[in-house]
Amino acid sequence: MIGQIKQWDRDLFIYLNGLGVERFDAFWIFVTQEETWIPLYILLAILIILSHKGKNILIGLISFLASFAITFGLTRIIKATIARARPNNVDQFQEVIRILQEPTYYSFVSGHTSTSVAITTFVVLALRKKWKWVYIFYLWPFLFATSRVYVGVHYPSDLIGGAIVGLVCAFFVYYFYRKLIDTNLKNPSNG
């Protein structure tokens, strides 16, 4: 059964990666770079600041950063434990897939996906009552994750695994964030 799932994963990766069109390569390479999204990170931090008061601003910003840091650390541990080779490093794929990047670290789970899903989910959970439109930020992890298959460095299961890790970490951080915010609301002198 596991062998069949792995085969479906490889087949789906090859199919999706093969949908790439050369004239869009520059766009997907741009999308897959972490630096591209720095203005979004700043915007999200500004929204957290604008939606909080007093000490709660600090709680919101620390929780925002914690959603990234915890997810990043857990992702690295999973990658090192599973040690799955990236598709761009599998010899049998070299002539079959489009490779636009060549990272060598492990594949499962996708760090791009896990961290972007964690950050987005935390922000949505924290700000959804104030601004209903924050759900639009889920376009970011969708594009970020999609780019990883397009550039040839992640299987679809890496993205699914990354999304699950990101969701779990975001809900974990949000739980403690809510406890701290609620404590401050009960003690107005704190914040």
How far apart are the C-alpha atoms of 82 and 109, rounded to whole Å? Answer: 9
Q: Is 168 in contact with 100 (CB distance < 8 Å)?
A: no
Pick from 66, 70, 67, 59: which is nearest to 178 by CA?
Answer: 59
How far apart are the C-alpha atoms of 187 and 179, rounded to whole Å? Answer: 12
Which of 24-28, 103-107, 108-112 has the weakest average pLDDT?
103-107
Q: Is 102 in contact with 32 (CB distance < 8 Å)?
A: no
| Residue 27 within a domain | no
| Residue 12 within a domain | no
| Residue 17 within a domain | no
66's tokens: 């914690």
| Residue 14 within a domain | no
| Residue 90 within a domain | yes
| Residue 123 within a domain | yes
166's tokens: 């990101």
Instruction: Assign 40 to helix, strand or coil.
Output: helix
Instruction: Assign 52 to helix, strand or coil.
Output: coil
Which of 68-77, 114-123, 149-158 has the weakest average pLDDT?
149-158
Number of domains in the chain: 1
Q: Is the model's pLDDT at 100 over the cut of 90?
A: no
Instruction: Assign 191 to helix, strand or coil.
Output: coil
Name the packing angle between helices 55-82 and 38-50 (round to 10°): 140
Q: What is the pLDDT of residue 103?
A: 77
Q: What is the pTM of this model?
A: 0.88
| Residue 129 within a domain | yes
Instruction: Assign 141 to helix, strand or coil.
Output: helix
Output the CA angle 48-122-190, nearest 5 degrees: 50
Range of the domain at 141: 43-190
| Residue 8 within a domain | no
Pick from 86, 94, 133, 139: which is nearest to 117 by CA?
Answer: 139
Q: What is the CA radius of gyration of the chain?
A: 19
More confident residue, 97 or 159: 159
